[in-house]
């Protein structure tokens, strides 16, 4: 990490102020999360009298019951399947369109870019009812595709924009050389552009994966049967069923956010860069 | 949203000498690439983004339950009902309040933390990681976690009240307090994202200017006010833009916390759309809400673009 501000604070007072502030904010961020994880290890009575502290008796069974339930794995599987379909379709469709818009000169190219940019201006929620009717009329209601296709469509604007800017900034000498050698657009796309664009493929992949993994409103509207629910919907059903059994709900929350937290800690640099740089460049 | 039209205007010089390749017969010419590469995106985007938005505008003039064809034309009645609907007015106010808190609390908090973490101090990377963590969690999970925190029987607030010896508050069931409880969760969830934007902005800044100000004897505050802040202008605008757009879309987090209740006191535009449009299958009315949201979003996008172009 590069140093950006002025010199490192020297006085003891500055240091105390600095770390005290940071620690207070960190505590406010972490306490809800830590008490959630610990709460999952408690009995309901223990949770009621002692929500902050360590469990009186560690109820590992709260967690193992969920881990051995079909329900948990089904929800995770649904979320993963929907996310993988969304990511792969987004990358394929967006990179192809972005390539054509970046490298091929044709009448109306600019107008087409602006047409896709309209998608940046409003969220899926604005058109959710007509979207529901379209999915219903296509017979895709209560199917994974009914969730995936709208998600891909609403992710296209950002993805095309990111890919297009990236493709245009690749060294143009490559293009010269390739075309002198008689390499056509499609071969160039496949053999030169895509292999050179791995960082941007990763960025678009992260953005659309996180978006799909966490998405709630589109699956809420499109899916009816619990067997197909991704985890954000499933966790709401679980909470509805166990309404005040907070120890079980907390264990369930912990296990559903665990993959996200683990992935974040393992690939923090890529995820932070993907989610912020991606947003900035769009 | 960067301006792409400037880039688009740059002629692509390489396409001229390559005209010969543009025969439809050769796989790899101009036409095959256009015919193969553009339609999938164009089709998906038109079918699931542009047409639904156009249809929302159309349906908003009808009273329709979504079955058969929309036939009962009601003109602007849906909009009239909408703006006279107490819950929608509350929703608009709440969206305004969320925007206000984002601007007055969240963005300054994020900037303050970014300035501290831009120092090369031990632990800076860990702090950044902790502060960004809530942002990667799903809104639904964050909402549920805070529903536990605020719970008057089992939650952290109940324990704090017990410790202080006061009656346990049921924050989310109180129609005067619930919205403020939600505002706190919004700040908790999103400040880390804005902090990262500011850290990126600070790192891209020219340090020589700061050093020059230091040599000229500027105090810490003066350096911040007259050097750092003006140089961060575009980042501040970006951060404000994301805060505004994000607050307009707020839905996932509200559902597990309050679902828009108690007695509609925590509705936002999108939860209102869901409650009164989707749940009751009032396609015309729900579409009218969508149209209002659309108009607000587009106006904001253009305002942002204009202000960004004027200043950058």
Q: Do B137 and A257 touch (CB under 8 A)?
A: yes
Residues of chain A with pLDDT > 70, as a percent, come to 94
Q: How far is A6 from chain B (nearest CA, A)?
A: 7
At residue A8, the pLDDT reads: 52
Entry field: residues in chain B: 312
- Convert chain B into a string of H (helix), E (strand) and C (coil): CCCCHHHHHCCCHHHCCCHHHCCCCCCCCHHHHHHHHHHHHHHHHHHHHHHHHHHHHHHCCEECCCCCCCCEECCCHHHHHHHCCHHHHHHHHHHHHHHHHHHHHHHHHHHHHHHHHCCCCCCHHHHHHHHHHHHHCCHHHHHHHHHHHHCCCCCHHHHHHHHHCCCCCCHHHCCCCHHHHHHHHHHHHHHHHHHHHHHHHHHCCCHHHHHHHHHCCCCHHHHHHHHHHHHCHHHHHHHHHHHHHHHHCCCCCHHHHCCCCCCCCCCCHHHHHHHHHHCCCCHHHHHHHHHHHHHHHHHHHHHHHHHHHHHC
- Answer yes or no: are the C-beta atoms of A129 and B286 closer than 8 Å: yes
Q: Does any domain span residue B69?
A: no
- Which residues 47-76 of A have a C-beta within 8 angstroms of B? 47-48, 50-52
- Answer yes or no: are the C-beta atoms of A202 and A270 closer than 8 Å: yes
Residue A172: closest C-alpha in chain B:
B14
At residue A269, the pLDDT reads: 85
Q: Does any domain span residue B131?
A: yes
Task: Pick left, alpha or beta for residue A87 (phi over 0 → left; psi -120 to 50 → alpha; otherwise beta).
Answer: alpha
For helices A246-266 and A12-39, the axis angle rounded to 10 degrees is: 130
Spatial distance between the Cα atoms of A210 and A214, rounded to a whole number of angstroms: 6
The answer, for A137 touching chain B at a CB cutoff of 8 Å, is: no
Task: Among B121, B154, B283, select the one facing A51 at the smallest CB separation.
Answer: B154
Q: Is the pLDDT of residue A7 over 60?
A: no
* Sequence-separated (6 or more) residues with CB below 8 Å from residue B4: A113, A117, A161, A164, A165
Q: Do B28 and A185 touch (CB under 8 A)?
A: yes
Q: Is the pLDDT of residue B225 over 50?
A: yes
The answer, for A11 touching chain B at a CB cutoff of 8 Å, is: no
Spatial distance between the Cα atoms of A122 and B141, rounded to a whole number of angstroms: 24
The answer to whether residues B39 and B176 belong to one domain is no
In the structure encoding, which two tokens stand for residue A7, read together?
């010199």
Q: Does any domain span residue B49?
A: yes
- Which residues 19-48 of B have a C-beta within 8 angstroms of A? 21, 26-30, 32-34, 36-38, 40-42, 44-45, 47-48
Q: Which of A46, A83, A107, A122 is the best substitution to test chain B (most B C-beta atoms within 10 A)?
A: A122
Q: Which part of chain A has CATH 1.10.3720.10?
A: 73-230
Highest mean pLDDT, choosing among A38-52, B119-133, B154-168, B183-197 = B183-197
The full DSSP string for A235-250 is HHHHHHHTTT-HHHHH
pLDDT digits (tens, 9 = 90+) for A200-216: 999 999 999 999 999 99
> Which helix (H) or strand (E) segment is A219 a member of?
helix A217-222
Peptide bond into B262 cis (omega under 30): yes
The answer, for B290 touching chain A at a CB cutoff of 8 Å, is: yes
Q: Do A156 and B129 touch (CB under 8 A)?
A: no
The answer to whether residues B300 and B155 belong to one domain is yes
At residue A216, the pLDDT reads: 95
What are the CB-based long-range contacts (under 8 Å, 24+) for B71-76?
A: B74/B284
Q: Residue B35's domain spans which residues?
A: 5-59
The answer to whether residues B291 and B180 belong to one domain is yes
Q: How far is B290 from chain A (nearest CA, A)?
A: 4
Q: Which of B136, B218, B258 is the best substitution to test chain A (most A C-beta atoms within 10 A)?
A: B136
DSSP tag of A138: T
Q: Is the pLDDT of residue A255 over 60?
A: yes
The answer, for B187 touching chain A at a CB cutoff of 8 Å, is: no
In the structure encoding, which two tokens stand for residue A14, read together?
């500055």
Q: Is the pLDDT of residue B6 over 80?
A: no
> Is domain A73-230 in CATH 1.10.3720.10, yes or no?
yes
The strand pairing partners of B63, in sequence order, are B72
What are the CB-based long-range contacts (under 8 Å, 24+) for B217-226?
A: B223/A6, B224/B115
The answer to whether residues B267 and B136 belong to one domain is yes
Q: Is the pLDDT of residue A13 over 90?
A: no
At residue A279, the pLDDT reads: 66
When mean pLDDT is compared across B100-104, B145-149, B220-224, the lowest value belongs to B220-224
The answer to whether residues B198 and B265 belong to one domain is yes
Q: Which of B12, B54, B144, B156 is the best substitution to test chain A (most A C-beta atoms within 10 A)?
A: B144
Residue B9: list chain A partners with CB under 8 A. Answer: 110
In the structure encoding, which two tokens stand for residue B10, read together?
């740059």
What are the CB-based long-range contacts (under 8 Å, 24+) for B136-139?
A: B136/A210, B136/A260, B136/A261, B136/A264, B136/A271, B136/A275, B137/A214, B137/A257, B137/A260, B137/A261, B137/B189, B138/A213, B138/A214, B138/A216, B138/A232, B138/A257, B138/A260, B138/B252, B139/A214, B139/A216, B139/B189, B139/B251, B139/B252, B139/B253
Q: Does any domain span residue B244?
A: yes
The strand pairing partners of B62, in sequence order, are B73
Q: Do B290 and A39 touch (CB under 8 A)?
A: no
For helices B30-45 and A70-103, the axis angle rounded to 10 degrees is: 140
At residue A177, the pLDDT reads: 77
The answer, for B212 touching chain A at a CB cutoff of 8 Å, is: no
Q: What are phi and psi of B280, to 5 degrees?
A: -95, 5
The answer to whether residues B158 and B10 belong to one domain is no
When mean pLDDT is compared across A34-38, A140-144, A221-225, A264-268, the lowest value belongs to A264-268
Task: Among B41, B132, B188, select the one facing A97 at the smallest CB separation.
Answer: B41
Q: How far is A231 from chain B (nearest CA, A)?
A: 10
* pLDDT band at A278; cut points 50, 70, 90: low
Q: Do B55 and A36 touch (CB under 8 A)?
A: no
Q: Do B140 and A235 touch (CB under 8 A)?
A: yes
Residues of chain A with pLDDT > 90, as a percent, come to 69
* pLDDT band at A282; cut points 50, 70, 90: low
Q: Does any domain span residue B149?
A: yes
- Across A187-210, average pLDDT: 92
Residue B300: closest C-alpha in chain A:
A121
- Answer yes or no: are the C-beta atoms of A204 and A90 closer than 8 Å: yes
- Across B159-173, average pLDDT: 88
Terminal Cα-to-Cα distance of chain B (whole angstroms): 13
At residue A1, the pLDDT reads: 39
The answer, for A154 touching chain B at a CB cutoff of 8 Å, is: yes
Domain tally for chain B?
Answer: 2
> For residue A196, how many other CB atoms are within 10 A of its CB?
14
Q: Is the pLDDT of residue B198 over 90?
A: yes
Q: What are phi and psi of A175, to 5 degrees?
A: -65, -45
> For residue B226, how many other CB atoms are within 10 A of its CB?
12
The answer to whether residues B187 and B106 belong to one domain is yes
pLDDT digits (tens, 9 = 90+) for B131-146: 999 999 999 999 999 9
Q: Is the pLDDT of residue A16 over 70?
A: yes
Task: Among A109, A236, A282, select the one facing B1 at the smallest CB separation.
Answer: A282
Q: Do A105 and B42 touch (CB under 8 A)?
A: no
* pLDDT band at B49; cut points 50, 70, 90: very high
Task: Among B40, B115, B130, select the one facing A93 at the smallest CB separation.
Answer: B40
Q: Return the biggest CA–CA distance within chain B.
A: 85
Q: Does any domain span residue B67?
A: no
Size of interface A-B (CB pairs under 8 A): 337
At residue B39, the pLDDT reads: 95
When mean pLDDT is compared across A129-138, A225-234, A248-257, B121-130, the lowest value belongs to B121-130
The answer to whether residues B130 and B216 belong to one domain is yes
- Answer yes or no: are the C-beta atoms of A214 and B189 closer than 8 Å: no
The answer to whether residues B281 and B231 belong to one domain is yes
Nearest to A41 by CA among A60, A25, A26, A56: A60
- Answer yes or no: are the C-beta atoms of B131 and A26 closer than 8 Å: yes
Residue B11: closest C-alpha in chain A:
A105
The answer to whether residues B19 and B167 belong to one domain is no
- Answer yes or no: are the C-beta atoms of B134 and A29 closer than 8 Å: yes
The answer to whether residues B54 and B89 belong to one domain is no
Q: Do A26 and B130 touch (CB under 8 A)?
A: yes
The answer to whether residues B139 and B32 belong to one domain is no
Q: Which tops the pLDDT comparison, A106 or A83?
A: A83
Spatial distance between the Cα atoms of A41 and A47, rounded to a whole number of angstroms: 9
Q: Do A257 and B188 touch (CB under 8 A)?
A: no
pLDDT digits (tens, 9 = 90+) for B59-82: 999 999 888 888 899 989 999 999
Q: Is the pLDDT of residue A232 over 70?
A: yes
Q: Which tops the pLDDT comparison, A31 or B28?
A: A31
Q: Is the pLDDT of residue B220 over 70?
A: yes
Task: Kindly report the pTM of this predicted structure.
Answer: 0.89
Half-sphere exposure of B205 (CA within 13 A, CB side): 28
CA distances from B62 to B174, B242, B269 (A): 36, 33, 20
- Across B8-31, average pLDDT: 46
- Across A97-111, average pLDDT: 91
* pLDDT band at A244; cut points 50, 70, 90: confident
In the structure encoding, which two tokens stand for residue B74, read together?
């009601």
* pLDDT band at B90; cut points 50, 70, 90: very high
CATH of the domain at B210: 1.10.3720.10
* pLDDT band at B311; cut points 50, 70, 90: low
At residue B312, the pLDDT reads: 57
Q: How far is B176 from chain A (nearest CA, A)?
A: 23
The strand pairing partners of B73, in sequence order, are B62
């Amino acid at each position: 990490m590069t140093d950006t501000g002025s010199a490192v604070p020297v006085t003891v007072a500055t240091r105390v102020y600095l770390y005290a502030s940071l620690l207070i904010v960190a505590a406010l961020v972490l306490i809800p999360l830590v008490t959630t994880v610990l709460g999952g290890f408690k009995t309901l009575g223990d949770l009621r009298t002692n929500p902050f502290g360590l469990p009186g008796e560690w109820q590992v069974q709260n967690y193992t019951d969920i881990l051995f339930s079909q329900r948990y794995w089904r929800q995770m599987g649904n979320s993963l399947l929907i996310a993988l379909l969304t990511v792969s379709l987004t990358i394929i469709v967006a990179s192809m369109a972005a390539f054509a818009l970046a490298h091929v000169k044709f009448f109306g190219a600019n107008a087409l870019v602006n047409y896709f940019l309209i998608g940046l201006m409003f969220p899926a929620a604005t058109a959710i009812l007509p979207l529901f009717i379209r999915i219903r009329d296509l017979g895709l209601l209560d199917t994974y595709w009914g969730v995936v296709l709208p998600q891909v469509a609403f992710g296209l604007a950002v993805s095309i924009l990111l890919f297009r800017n990236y493709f245009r900034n690749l060294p143009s000498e490559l293009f010269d050389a390739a075309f002198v050698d008689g390499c056509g657009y499609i071969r160039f796309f496949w053999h030169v552009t895509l292999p050179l664009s791995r960082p941007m493929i990763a960025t678009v992949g992260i953005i659309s994966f996180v978006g799909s993994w966490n998405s709630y409103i589109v699956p809420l509207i499109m899916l009816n049967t619990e067997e197909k629910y991704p985890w954000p919907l499933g966790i709401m059903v679980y909470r509805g069923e166990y309404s005040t059994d907070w120890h079980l709900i907390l264990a369930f929350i912990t296990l559903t956010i665990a993959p996200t937290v683990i992935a974040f800690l393992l690939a923090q640099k890529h995820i932070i860069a993907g989610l912020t740089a991606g947003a900035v460049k769009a | 949203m960067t301006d792409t039209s400037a880039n688009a205007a740059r002629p692509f010089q390489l396409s001229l000498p390559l005209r010969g390749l543009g025969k439809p017969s050769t796989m790899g010419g101009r036409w095959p690439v256009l015919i193969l590469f553009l339609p999938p995106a164009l089709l998906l985007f038109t079918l699931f983004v542009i047409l639904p938005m156009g249809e929302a505008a159309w349906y908003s003039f009808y009273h329709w339950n979504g079955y058969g064809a929309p036939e009962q034309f009601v003109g602007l009645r849906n909009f009239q009902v909408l703006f006279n609907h107490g819950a929608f007015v509350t929703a608009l106010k709440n969206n305004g309040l969320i925007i206000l808190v984002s601007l007055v609390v969240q963005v300054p908090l994020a900037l303050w933390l970014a300035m501290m973490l831009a120092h090369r101090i031990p632990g800076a990377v860990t702090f950044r990681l902790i502060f960004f963590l809530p942002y990667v969690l799903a809104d639904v999970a964050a909402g549920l976690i805070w529903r536990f925190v605020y719970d008057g029987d089992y939650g952290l607030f109940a324990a704090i009240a017990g410790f202080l010896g006061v009656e346990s508050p049921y924050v989310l069931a109180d129609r005067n307090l619930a919205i403020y409880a939600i505002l706190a969760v919004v700040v908790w969830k999103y400040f880390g994202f804005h902090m990262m934007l500011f850290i990126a902005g600070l790192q891209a800044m020219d340090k020589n200017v700061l050093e020059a100000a230091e040599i000229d004897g500027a105090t810490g505050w003066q350096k911040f006010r007259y050097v750092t802040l003006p140089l961060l202008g575009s980042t501040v605008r970006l951060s404000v833009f994301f805060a505004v757009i994000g607050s307009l879309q707020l839905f996932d987090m509200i559902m597990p916390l309050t679902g828009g209740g108690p007695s509609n006191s925590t509705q936002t535009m999108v939860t209102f759309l869901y409650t009164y449009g989707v749940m009751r299958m009032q396609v015309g009315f729900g579409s009218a809400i969508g149209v209002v949201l659309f108009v607000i979003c587009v106006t904001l996008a253009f305002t942002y673009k204009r202000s960004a172009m004027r200043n950058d």
